[in-house]
A = this chain, B = another copy of it.
């Protein structure tokens, strides 16, 4: 009975999803709270997920010509203030450094909440001619936003992310790069994290402070709430004008550059948990899983069992990321722990199995048990991992589709949101007032104007005036 304790300690997701999430984050040892209010420590099992995300995204970025750089973490106040919308968006939530050593600073500086202003200041001196363009730079770093309420991975005062910042000769180049990077994010989320997304544009109300257009990939969590999972911004030449970033074009005239920025954060780890997790714990898609297969020896003190487990590790390490749990815990506890930690496959091997020349593989997602001959296991594992990866995406997509509703009247719209949790597709007139009305009535926000438009009716679901666009609405993290 004690073997089940680990899992019994976590709250059921149907009972209290928020508590289930927090329990998993702690019990799977992804994160620990710290003495620094609102800031988290990312533990080895959590950080290893981020390392895999970084490695894969970085490869995909570089394949499109991105180069990594590092800018300072501080922004002098006068620099932050150069672009009006931007400073209004960020000044209320930055941390201010006022003293260096024992001396007060002449000008206070904030810890970067995002680095548009620093990249602009850099490009101003680095871009002179059309030959210098495009600049397609990115940095991996942490940023700080002084949030009042925080939640592990989803919202914390400091978080890890990448921020790409590009400069282009034409508006068209900037727009193309903005959409290109959104597509990189969408493909990455689907291929690597098995998370299907809606691609679309943010409304004026929801766009980034200082952007002309913000594009987003929106994912649906298991509880029916939306998670903005990555954004890509087209700045036009607004920042270039504020920072005076000009170049001499081929026609020998001075022109302002056009800019973009785009980022994803450690909240992707939150998305993995909330899309794939279950009441036994974390379920990691095989491609992002730091450990893909955990070997659990049964009756490990019997002669030959541990040796066989290590031998299997040796063999299987050629086709997967493998560990052996050779601790002195009971097998039942180890099963439970392997489930909590979300290892895609576990391999059980005991004296009887060895005698019979077989072992048992258990899929984390379906908990299906598969007997495999020992001499076939290395050939079997890669295919199983690929099948899991594919089926996890399919299940997530089926869940998303089953929780996507449509509404053509405001009554219907309100009824869906009072009874269901998910995306609601509805037509919109394009005005901010309707967004505000909807938010006031239902605590629901426009998630995006999807690239794939449908015509559900001719009129706005809120005000009844002629509709401009179909919008995805939802409650969001």
Q: Which residues of A contact B (CB under 8 A)?
A: 32, 34-36, 39-44, 47-48, 50-51, 67-76, 79, 92-102, 109, 111, 118, 121-122, 125-126, 137, 141-142, 144, 146, 157-158, 160
Q: Which residue from chain B places its CB closest to the CB of A58 in the assembled complex?
A: B51
Q: Which of B41, B75, B101, B109 contacts A70 (CB 8 A)?
A: B41
Q: Which residue from chain B places its CB closest to the CB of A51 in the assembled complex?
A: B68
CB distance from A60 to the nearest CB of B (A): 16
A69 contacts B93, C-beta separation under 8 Å: no
CB distance from A56 to the nearest CB of B (A): 15
Q: Which of B42, B48, B50, B71 contacts A34 (CB 8 A)?
A: B71
Q: Which of B96, B98, B101, B142 contacts A92 (CB 8 A)?
A: B101
Known contacts A51-B68, A70-B160, A121 near B79 by CB under 8 Å: no
A137 contacts B39, C-beta separation under 8 Å: no
A48 contacts B68, C-beta separation under 8 Å: yes
Q: Which residues of B contact A146 (CB under 8 A)?
A: 100-101
Q: Which residues of B contact A157 (CB under 8 A)?
A: 100
CB distance from A116 to the nearest CB of B (A): 14
Q: Which of B32, B42, B111 contacts A126 (CB 8 A)?
A: B32
Q: Which residues of B contact A41 (CB under 8 A)?
A: 69-72, 118, 122
A42 contacts B70, C-beta separation under 8 Å: yes
11 contacts between A and B (CB under 8 A): A34-B71, A34-B72, A35-B121, A36-B76, A41-B69, A41-B71, A41-B72, A42-B70, A92-B102, A96-B99, A111-B111
Q: Which of B76, B101, B125 contacts A94 (CB 8 A)?
A: B101
From A75, A76, A95, name the one whose CB has the most chain B CB atoms within 10 angstroms: A95
Q: Which residues of B contact A96 (CB under 8 A)?
A: 97-100
From A70, A73, A76, A142, name the one whose CB has the most chain B CB atoms within 10 angstroms: A70
Q: Which of B75, B93, B95 contacts A36 (CB 8 A)?
A: B75
Q: Which residue from chain B places its CB closest to the CB of A137 in the assembled complex?
A: B44
Known pairs A34-B71, A73-B144, A73-B158 / 10 extra A-B pairs, C-beta < 8 Å = A36-B74, A36-B118, A41-B70, A41-B122, A44-B67, A47-B70, A48-B67, A97-B98, A98-B99, A100-B146
B36 contacts A109, C-beta separation under 8 Å: yes
What 7 pairs between A and B have smallest CB-CB spacing? A39-B72, A44-B67, A100-B146, A96-B99, A42-B70, A36-B72, A101-B146
CB distance from A32 to the nearest CB of B (A): 7
Q: Which residues of B contact A109 (CB under 8 A)?
A: 36
Q: Which of B32, B35, B95, B122 contacts A100 (CB 8 A)?
A: B95
Q: Which of B69, B74, B76, B102 contacts A44 (CB 8 A)?
A: B69
CB distance from A208 to the nearest CB of B (A): 19
Q: Which residues of B contact A97 (CB under 8 A)?
A: 95-98, 111
CA distance A141 to B41 in the complex (A): 13
CA distance A290 to B153 in the complex (A): 33
CA distance A99 to B93 in the complex (A): 10
CA distance A341 to B296 in the complex (A): 52
CB distance from A314 to the nearest CB of B (A): 16
Q: Which residue from chain B places its CB closest to the CB of A105 in the assembled complex?
A: B95
CA distance A74 to B39 in the complex (A): 9
Q: Which residues of B contact A101 (CB under 8 A)?
A: 92-95, 146
CA distance A370 to B32 in the complex (A): 58
CA distance A102 to B88 in the complex (A): 12
Q: Which residues of B contact A98 (CB under 8 A)?
A: 96-99
Q: Which residues of B contact A126 (CB under 8 A)?
A: 32
Q: Which residue from chain B places its CB closest to the CB of A119 in the assembled complex?
A: B41
A158 contacts B92, C-beta separation under 8 Å: no
B44 contacts A158, C-beta separation under 8 Å: no
CB distance from A182 to the nearest CB of B (A): 23
CA distance A160 to B34 in the complex (A): 23
CB distance from A114 to the nearest CB of B (A): 15
B95 contacts A40, C-beta separation under 8 Å: no
